[in-house]
A and B are shown apart, each in its own frame.
Chain A
Amino acid sequence: MNTLVQELKQLIIDSLDLEDIGPDDIDPQAPLFGAGLGLDSIDALELGVAIQKRFHIKLDNDPAATRQHFQSVTSLARFIESKAK
């Protein structure tokens, strides 16, 4: 789980071309969208694509579920682990 969290943090930074921010600056519990990292709807699409590519998983078509999975780095990690099983 911990390595997955680290990997996700780096994936977010790389795929979204985030500046001035390192993996340690991302709080795994903090919201990715809105206040926390301040990602936007285009970031959500980009991140979704990056995750599908990296982990070879399919995202649900259910917006409510997706929103929940993309809540924070921790929730994303949990979601990816559940898909991998």
Chain B
Amino acid sequence: MKTGQRNTSKVHDDVAIFSAGTLDRATFWNRVHGLKNVIQGHSGRRWALLCEDSSWFAAGFMALANCRRLIVLPQSSLAGAVGKDHEFDLILSDHPENYPGLHCINIQATGTIADGMACFPDDDVRVEFHTSGSTGSPKCVPKAFAQLRNEVQTLENQWGASLGQAVIISTVPHHHLYGLLFRVLWPLLSGRPFLASVCLHPDGLRNLPVQLPKIIVSSPAFLSRIDNFSELPPAAEVAAVFSSGAPLPDETAMKFVKIWGRSVTEVYGSTETGGIAWRAASVDGKRRPWRAFSGVELDLRQEPSGDRLWVKSPCTWQSGWMATGDLARIHADGGLELLGRSDDVIKIADKRVSLGEIRIQLAAHTMVADARLVLVAGRRSIIGAVVILNASGQSLLKSSGKKAVCDALRAWLRERYEPVMIPKKWRFVDAFPGTDMGKIENQRMLQLFT
């Protein structure tokens, strides 16, 4: 792989790091060769790859791709979801006991072949990602290996030289595009070791068995929950913190700069489009516009709700220009500003209403733990609110009834928004209807109002 001026060309001896011990490069590739041998003994073409450990996941990925098998990455690794929603012939897993009744190969029982040589897949080998679709069933997004390698090359060109040698620590799963690229393929192809287990708590980011700078691959959900920055490794030991999945709240971006002393690098993209742009707050904590990755073209197309962002790059799943779900503005110098989800901005009584903005205001009420808004279409379209109350909200609901709670929340929103923008219908729930990946589904939200 082509690298920057500094010494990432120095490939680290280890592919993966565990809480105790490491996996060196030769052993890793011996495993891949052993696995290839087993895979070739099965005629099945579509293989679901379901490993908890990233080193097994990486070995399985490389072996399947080298054998030109189609790799299916289910949206969730839960047995129920896997069997029902995805099409595959076999499963390759480090936890076969999780998939009773399905044809599953235990990846850890496949043996090694002492060859030691790295081997990389053909460009046209396919990988199928799954994201939560708008209909409620997972949406399949196929990509070619060449596209994934292309994305890795873009990341290395953008940051490789400044990062140097480092160990990758991740709080996100490896079976979605962001995790697969940042947590597995980029490290593997650039010769950086990665931590084999996912880090689920800030504590896990400390006391690692390696003396290398750290690259933290995370998400707004994780980073915005860090209150105690002493739980993080000191900024001096960290080469970079990446965040993707949604925009990082301003408050969180600011906190990292002000308290921890380093900014978070955010990556904007989707499974369908691949990486689109990145940004990092300045040293005084100010947000800066997004910058498109090299090779990504941007365009705005006018719609009733605003200007929707379209992208064109070698990494989109369909060739040509692709619509994103976001409204945007492009500055004269090429800087990109995201203005919210296009489906979040609705028109009601000829007024443009940002459901996202009203949602934030609603969620800021002292009785509200979280809230979502949906447009309930009909002869007359109205805004519906789905609210999770906190303890004080629950107690008012219990003592004074739904109307009292609704009245209080309506009054709160009326301070800031015109009457037509206030939700007409209210639903109080314990949890939003959604998937186990934490994605909330609009369709199931709407069912609350029918």
Q: Given known contacts A33-B419, A40-B422, what 8 new A-B pairs fall within 8 Å (CB)?
A: A19-B424, A19-B425, A20-B406, A34-B419, A38-B410, A41-B349, A42-B380, A43-B419
A64 at the A/B interface (Cβ < 8 Å)? no
8 A Cβ contacts from B288-303 to A: none
Tell whether, in the assembled complex, residue B406 and residue A41 are in contact, meaning their CB atoms are under 8 Å apart: no
Tell whether, in the assembled complex, residue B422 and residue A38 are in contact, meaning their CB atoms are under 8 Å apart: yes
Q: How far is the CA of A26 from the CA of B426 in the complex (A)?
A: 18
Tell whether, in the assembled complex, residue A21 and residue B403 are in contact, meaning their CB atoms are under 8 Å apart: yes
Chain A residues whose C-beta falls within 8 Å of the C-beta of B410 in the assembled complex = 38
A39 at the A/B interface (Cβ < 8 Å)? yes
B201 at the A/B interface (Cβ < 8 Å)? no
Give the number of A-B contacts (CB < 8 Å). Answer: 35
Tell whether, in the assembled complex, residue B349 and residue A40 are in contact, meaning their CB atoms are under 8 Å apart: yes
**Chain A: minimal CB distance from B347 (Å):** 12
8 A Cβ contacts from A16-50 to B: 17, 19-21, 25, 33-35, 38-43, 46
Q: 20 interchain pairs (CB within 8 A)?
A: A19-B424, A20-B402, A20-B403, A20-B406, A25-B403, A35-B411, A35-B414, A38-B410, A38-B411, A38-B419, A39-B419, A40-B349, A40-B419, A40-B420, A40-B422, A41-B419, A42-B380, A42-B420, A43-B419, A46-B380
Q: How far is the CA of A20 from the CA of B410 in the complex (A)?
A: 13
Identify the closest chain A residue to B382 (Cβ).
Answer: A17
Q: Produce 1/0 per residue, B114-139, CB < 8 A to A.
A: 00000000000000000000000000
Chain B residues whose C-beta falls within 8 Å of the C-beta of A35 in the assembled complex = 411, 414
Q: Taking A20-B406, A21-B403 as contacts, is the C-beta distance between A38 and B426 under 8 angstroms?
A: no
B418 at the A/B interface (Cβ < 8 Å)? yes
Q: How far is the CA of A46 from the CA of B411 in the complex (A)?
A: 22
Instruction: Among B403, B411, B426, find the residue whose CB has the most chain A CB atoms closer than 10 A.
Output: B403
Identify the closest chain B residue to A40 (Cβ).
Answer: B419
Q: How far is the CA of A17 from the CA of B411 in the complex (A)?
A: 19
Identify the closest chain A residue to B419 (Cβ).
Answer: A40
Top-4 shortest CB links A-B: A40-B419, A40-B420, A20-B402, A20-B403
Instruction: Among B403, B406, B424, B426, find the residue whose CB has the most chain A CB atoms closer than 10 A.
Output: B424
Tell whether, in the assembled complex, residue A20 and residue B426 are in contact, meaning their CB atoms are under 8 Å apart: yes
Chain A residues whose C-beta falls within 8 Å of the C-beta of B411 in the assembled complex = 35, 38
Identify the closest chain A residue to B421 (Cβ).
Answer: A40
**Chain B: minimal CB distance from A15 (Å):** 10
Q: Produce 1/0 per residue, B75-111, CB < 8 A to A.
A: 0000000000000000000000000000000000000
**Chain A: minimal CB distance from B419 (Å):** 3
Tell whether, in the assembled complex, residue A41 and residue B420 are in contact, meaning their CB atoms are under 8 Å apart: yes
Tell whether, in the assembled complex, residue B349 and residue A19 are in contact, meaning their CB atoms are under 8 Å apart: no
**Chain A: minimal CB distance from B11 (Å):** 64
Identify the closest chain A residue to B422 (Cβ).
Answer: A38
Tell whether, in the assembled complex, residue A40 and residue B403 are in contact, meaning their CB atoms are under 8 Å apart: no
Q: Taking A38-B414, A41-B349 as contacts, is the C-beta distance between A19 and B420 under 8 angstroms?
A: no
Q: How far is the CA of A34 from the CA of B414 in the complex (A)?
A: 8
**Chain B: minimal CB distance from A32 (Å):** 11
**Chain B: minimal CB distance from A21 (Å):** 6
Chain B residues whose C-beta falls within 8 Å of the C-beta of A38 in the assembled complex = 410-411, 414, 419, 422
Chain A residues whose C-beta falls within 8 Å of the C-beta of B403 in the assembled complex = 20-21, 25
**Chain A: minimal CB distance from B396 (Å):** 14
**Chain A: minimal CB distance from B225 (Å):** 34
Q: Produce 1/0 per residue, B410-443, CB < 8 A to A.
A: 1100100011101011100000000000000000
Identify the closest chain B residue to A43 (Cβ).
Answer: B419
Q: How far is the CA of A76 from the CA of B422 in the complex (A)?
A: 24
8 A Cβ contacts from B372-418 to A: 380, 402-403, 406, 410-411, 414, 418
Q: Produce 1/0 per residue, A59-84, CB < 8 A to B.
A: 00000000000000000000000000
Chain A residues whose C-beta falls within 8 Å of the C-beta of B349 in the assembled complex = 40-42
Chain A residues whose C-beta falls within 8 Å of the C-beta of B426 in the assembled complex = 19-20
**Chain A: minimal CB distance from B351 (Å):** 10
Q: How far is the CA of A21 from the CA of B425 in the complex (A)?
A: 11
**Chain B: minimal CB distance from A63 (Å):** 17
Chain B residues whose C-beta falls within 8 Å of the C-beta of A46 in the assembled complex = 380
Identify the closest chain A residue to B425 (Cβ).
Answer: A19
Q: How far is the CA of A53 from the CA of B56 in the complex (A)?
A: 71
Q: Taking A19-B425, A20-B426, A46-B380 as contacts, is the C-beta distance between A40 and B402 under 8 angstroms?
A: no
Chain B residues whose C-beta falls within 8 Å of the C-beta of A19 in the assembled complex = 424-426
Chain A residues whose C-beta falls within 8 Å of the C-beta of B419 in the assembled complex = 33-34, 38-41, 43
Identify the closest chain A residue to B427 (Cβ).
Answer: A19
Identify the closest chain A residue to B407 (Cβ).
Answer: A38
Identify the closest chain A residue to B349 (Cβ).
Answer: A42
